Amino acid sequence: MNQTLQKLWQRGCEFLGTETAILGGAMSWVSERNLVAAISNSGGFGVIASGAMPPELLAEEIKGTQELTNKPFGVNLITMHPKISELIDVCIASKVGHIVLAGGLPSSAAIQQIKSAKMKLICFAPTLSLAQKLIKLGADALIIEGHEAGGHIGPVSTSVLAQEILPHVTDVPVFVAGGIGRGEAIVTYLQMGASGCQLGTRFVCATESKAHPNFKRAFIKANARNAIVSTQLDSRFPVIPVRALANKATQQFIEVQQEFITKVNEGLVEQKEAQLQIEHFWAGALRRAVIEGDIETGSIMAGQSVGMVTCEQSMQEIINELVSQAGNYLSY
């Protein structure tokens, strides 16, 4: 490995306990034991996406991952999960080294529970002020994720977030995420002060990924402009912004919103009921796409880096490619 690259991401590697400071983004239904273990076995840092899992299912997933790798990996927990405390207990009992808290500001109780178990805590920071607050609360590392990412996204691009946050946050490692698909981009953020990068979309088509062949084919065929943000038609009916590949369901979602906006305007439906119907549209849609292969009415969550996914490769090949691109870039 290029010596300059080793120096650039040494802090991140030491924090994660890995050969490369490349984290796998936690993608619901995709980031399960097979992909997570493959990322860790290839020198990266896999992260289980616990999503809405109950504690007993998470315990099984962690055990399954540990049977496939003896390398470090983390668990991503959603702060709003009703059983967050029990999920943290599962991670403690399973001797997980790192927890990633996502989906909102974590409670001080959750942070205390993680810290008292001597686990490393990684949090998402969408702004500089929140980054500083999270460090004060006890975060051991941060992830800053830009608008280009797949799935649930914030409003600011990765490059702007990196410029806003990296120069001012030096007391903990910061990992950059969103729209990263090549080694040259990783190097750029490392040179700006990042300790490593998180990639998700780039790993979906790893041979070890259990995503449905239809889901993988959709990624391989897509380009950056196909990964669009869900449309909100009326501010009275807020839509959580999600980036996914445009398909039949994308158009249907616009039609459903229009239908209920009209019904509310005509007094045929209460606003609350209309909001529920709009929110319910995507229920189970990600599972339909990833597991069942329904890429017409399912949600094909993908980041804008999807255009850089051109074939199915082993996880080791993908990591080697990223490291090689980074090294070549530094050798110019």
Residues 205 and 274 in one domain: no
Q: Which two tokens stand for residue 275?
A: 């909001």
Neighbours of 70 (CB within 10 A): 9
Q: What is the pTM of this model?
A: 0.96
pLDDT in tens, 134-159: 999 999 999 999 999 999 999 999 99
Residues 161 and 287 in one domain: no
Q: Which two tokens stand for residue 257?
A: 């919103």
The DSSP secondary-structure symbol of 247 reads -
Residues 9 and 135 in one domain: yes
Q: What's the confidence (pLDDT) of residue 1?
A: 83
Long-range Cβ contacts of 253-260 (<8 Å, 24+ apart): 253/281, 253/282, 256/281, 257/231, 257/232, 257/233, 258/233
Residue 104 has pLDDT above 90, yes or no: no
Cβ burial of 163 (10 Å; 0-12, 13-18, 19+) is: exposed
Q: CA 232, 243, 85: angle at the middle one, nearest 5? A: 100
Query: Within a domain: residue 160?
Result: yes
Average pLDDT rounded to a whole number, residues 76-92? 97
pLDDT in tens, 156-201: 999 999 999 999 999 999 999 999 999 999 999 999 999 999 999 9
pLDDT in tens, 235-258: 999 998 999 999 999 999 999 999
Domain of 277 in residue numbering reads as 223-301
Give the confidence band of 283 by pLDDT, cuts at 50, 70, 90.
confident
| Bridge partners of residue 197, in order along the sequence | 22, 176
Average pLDDT rounded to a whole number, residues 317-321? 98
Give the confidence band of 263 by pLDDT, cuts at 50, 70, 90.
very high
Segment holding 328, helix H or strand E: helix 315-331
For 217, 249, 260, 264, 275, the CA distances from 267, given in Å and listed in that order, are 44, 27, 10, 5, 14
Residues 104 and 249 in one domain: no
Segment holding 37, helix H or strand E: helix 33-41
Q: How many domains does the chain have?
A: 2
Residues 30 and 82 in one domain: yes
φ, ψ of residue 299 to 5 degrees: the values are -105, 115
pLDDT in tens, 27-82: 999 999 999 999 999 999 999 999 999 999 999 999 999 999 999 999 999 999 99
Give the confidence band of 230 by pLDDT, cuts at 50, 70, 90.
very high
SS3 category, 179: coil
Q: What's the confidence (pLDDT) of residue 29?
A: 96
Residues 80 and 174 in one domain: yes
Tell me how far apart the alpha carbons of residues 194 and 260 are, in angstroms, rounded to a whole number.
45
* C-alpha 68: how far from chain center: 22
Residues 238 and 195 in one domain: no
CATH number at residue 177: 3.20.20.70
Query: Within a domain: residue 217?
Result: no
Residue 332 has pLDDT above 90, yes or no: no
Residues 62 and 148 in one domain: yes
Segment holding 132, helix H or strand E: helix 128-137
Residues 123 and 102 in one domain: yes
